[in-house]
Amino acid sequence: MRRLIAVAALAIAATLQLGGSARAQQTYPSRTVRFIVPYGAASASDITARLFADRLSARWGKPVVVEDRPGGDGLVALNAFVGAHDDHTLFFGPAGTFEVLPYDQDTPPFDAKSDIVPIVCVSEVVLAVSVPASMNVNTLDELVKLAQAQPGKLNAAAASGISDFLLFGFIKNMGLQITKVPYRDIMQAPNDLAADRIQVLATSLAVVQPLAHAGRVKVLAVTSDRRAPAAPDIPTAKEAGYPALTFESLFGLFGPRGIPDDERKSIAADISSVANADPAIGKRIADIGTIKSIRGPSEFAASVDQQRLRIADIARTLGLKAAQ
C-alpha cells in the first residue's frame, strides 16, 4: 500500500512538473502583435518597423501588424499605444517622441517615464543640420559666423521633438539671432530650404538626402556621434567643432507599464537574433539614413534616462519647465 502511495505521489509530482515546464515554454507572443508607429507610410519609422515585423512574424508564428498613426507630433500614436494597456500592442519609434512631452504639454495625457517601458533599441536616427546650396555655406563654423554677421536675417526650422530642442537650444546657447519658423507639416520645410525661404533646417538625414543629392541642399553635419553609413563624407557636429550638437536619437520598441521583464528580454533577444542573422536589415537601415544599434532592455533604458537628463539641460537653456 505504501509503495502504491509513493508511486502515485511521484506520478502527481511528475505531472505537475510537466505542467509547469509546459507553462514555462509558452513564450511571447500568444496572439497578434501590433506595432504602433508615429509616422506615415514610407517614413524611416514605418520602413524599419515593417522590416522587423516581417521577420518576427516568421519567427513567432503569429502575425505582427504595423499600424501607422501619424499626427499630433507623435501624440496620436502614443495615445493609441498607452490606451491599449496591452503587452501585445507596442510602440515602435524614436524615444524623442515622448521624451520632450513634459516640456511641450502643460498637462501630458500620460506619464512617459512609467507608462512607456524600453524593450530594445534597434537603430539611431541620424539627424542633420542643412542649409540651401545657394547660400554657399559649407561648414557649421561658416554658418555660425554668417549668423553672427547678420543678426535676425536668417530663418530656421526643425522637426518637432529632439531636432527642435537641439537646434534652438544650440542657437540660444551660441547667442545667435535666428528666427524660428513653425511648420504644421515639417515635410514642407526641405523644399522651402532648397528655395532659400528658410536658411537652416534640422531634421532627419533621410528627409534632406534627396535634395542634397540633387545639389539643392547642403548638409553641414550630422548630430550622431559617428558618421552615417549612407553619407560618410558628412562630418559629425563634434568633428566640425560643435560637440554641443551631438545627440543620439534612439529608435526602438517600447512596451506598456507592467510588461514583465522576461517578456522584454525575450522580445529583445528575438529582435537581436533577426537583426544579426539578416544582413539585409542592417543595409536597409543604413540606406534610409539610420545606423543599426541593437541594445537590450537594461542598456536601452539607461540610454533613455541619459537622454532625459540631456533634454532637461537643453530645456533649461530654452527657459522651459517640465509639467508637474
Mean pLDDT of 15-38: 67
Co-location of 121 and 139 in the same domain: no
- Which pLDDT score, from 0 to 100, does residue 324 have? 65
Mean pLDDT of 175-197: 93
Residue 133, pLDDT above cutoff 50 = yes
Co-location of 135 and 221 in the same domain: yes
- Which pLDDT score, from 0 to 100, does residue 120 have? 98
Number of domains in the chain: 2
Helix extents (H) in 26-149: 44-60, 75-84, 96-99, 101-104, 112-115, 140-149
- Cα dist from 18 to 5, 23, 260, 263, whole Å: 20, 9, 23, 21
Q: What is the mean pLDDT of the chain?
A: 89
> What is the domain-level CATH number for residue 264?
3.40.190.150
- Which pLDDT score, from 0 to 100, does residue 306 have? 94
- Cα dist from 293 to 42, 95, 305, whole Å: 21, 14, 17
Last residue of a domain, one of 245, 271, 290: 245
Last residue of a domain, one of 245, 272, 288: 245
Structure-block grid coordinates of residue 145: 559666423
Residue 31, pLDDT above cutoff 90 = yes
Q: d(Cα 305, Cα 85) in Å, to the nearest integer?
A: 23
Co-location of 138 and 240 in the same domain: yes
Residue 7, pLDDT above cutoff 80 = no
Residue 69, pLDDT above cutoff 70 = yes
pTM (two decimals): 0.84
- Cα dist from 183 to 35, 167, 206, 223, whole Å: 27, 15, 18, 21
Per-residue pLDDT band at 12 (split at 50, 70, 90) = very low
- Beginning with the edge strand found earlier in the chain, give each strand of the sheet holding 127-132 in spatial order: 178-180, 154-158, 200-204, 127-132, 217-222
Mean pLDDT of 305-316: 94
User: What pLDDT, in 10s, does the model give residues 226-276?
Assistant: 999 989 999 999 999 999 999 989 999 999 999 999 999 999 999 999 999
Residue 37, pLDDT above cutoff 80 = yes
Co-location of 171 and 116 in the same domain: no
Q: In the block, which residue shows the cell 507592467?
A: 258
- Which pLDDT score, from 0 to 100, does residue 25 have? 40
| 280 alpha-carbon distance from chain centroid | 20
